[in-house]
Amino acid sequence: MCFHTRIVSTAKQLELHFEVTRSDKLKEENAELIYHHANGYSHQQFWVIPQQRKDHMTPMMWGLLPFNKPGADHEAYYKKAIPWGAGLNAQAEKLFDHWMYKHSALTKRCIIPLSGFYEPHTCEKPKNFKVPYYFEQKDSPIISLAGIYSITPDKYVTFSILTKEAPEGSKYAIIHNKKNRDGEHRQVVPLAKDQIDAWLSDDLGEDDVFEIINNDLPHDQINAYSISKDLFSRNIDSNREDIIEHVKYPQVQIPY
């Protein structure tokens, strides 16, 4: 569901926002992980805050890999897993049941800091006319998404963004209106500032995890608007600063 993201905050800005640090080696390397448009299927590296080091942020590759298989084979694995989303998203409802997720559900949860993310809206007319939308948090330059991560035997660290069913009538369901194969509208799980420490706590049980997921940041605290169709073009570079500029479409018949 969430396969396209944006992060333009510097590493230092993220450190200050979350009161975390990078390793001294990464500071010396002065690495920045900035994308105006990151296509998940390219499996880029992102700054992520892991449960195992709550005071730290570290680069992780987007696309959860199996914890019990070598990460060195990740390109072949991702290619084979494309029909199932290549590990980019993890359904929250399956956290404690899916063989890949349950290994991480209690001990390897994480926060994925983003500037925002992109989703398509499908218009009724003309048929299957898709309009890209940009989603961001209203009161913050950074939106904190809930996720899980895994560590392979050869130390590849990868993550997945959690999704859940979007309530009917919510901003998520109205804009990202095409249902999945299970007949559901899906959404990410953004966390309010006071939920971040709880999500990374080692003291949560299964019920506590779902309590946070089910009471995430309300959708009325999310701003969303239509942008250029260049976002989904294979022939145009959409990883550019102006990609989030508002573009109106007469085909869109919703109030966003």
Task: Measure the CA–CA gap between 191 and 144, rounded to whole angstroms.
Answer: 6
Tell me which fold the domain 4-244 belongs to. hypothetical protein yedk fold (3.90.1680)
Between 10 and 128, name the one with better pLDDT. Answer: 10
The per-residue pLDDT for 180 is: 84
Nearest by Cα to 160 from 42, 65, 58:
65
| Extents of the domains making up the chain | 4-244
The per-residue pLDDT for 14 is: 98
pLDDT digits (tens, 9 = 90+) for 69-108: 999 999 999 999 999 999 999 999 999 999 999 999 999 9
- Residue 179 and residue 123 in contact, taking contact as beta carbons nearer than 8 Å: no
Rounded to 5°, the CA angle 134-104-189 comes to 25
Q: Are strands 157-165 and 89-91 parallel, antiparallel or unpaired?
A: parallel
- 32 has a pLDDT exceeding 90: yes
- 247 has a pLDDT exceeding 90: yes
Q: Which residues of 191-219 are buried (b: 16+ CB within 10 A; e: fewer)?
A: bbeebbeebbeeebeeeebbebbeebbeb
pLDDT digits (tens, 9 = 90+) for 189-232: 999 999 999 999 999 999 999 999 999 999 899 999 999 999 99
User: What's this model's pTM, rounded to 2 decimal places?
Assistant: 0.97
pLDDT digits (tens, 9 = 90+) for 11-27: 999 999 999 999 888 88
Nearest by Cα to 159 from 109, 93, 210:
109
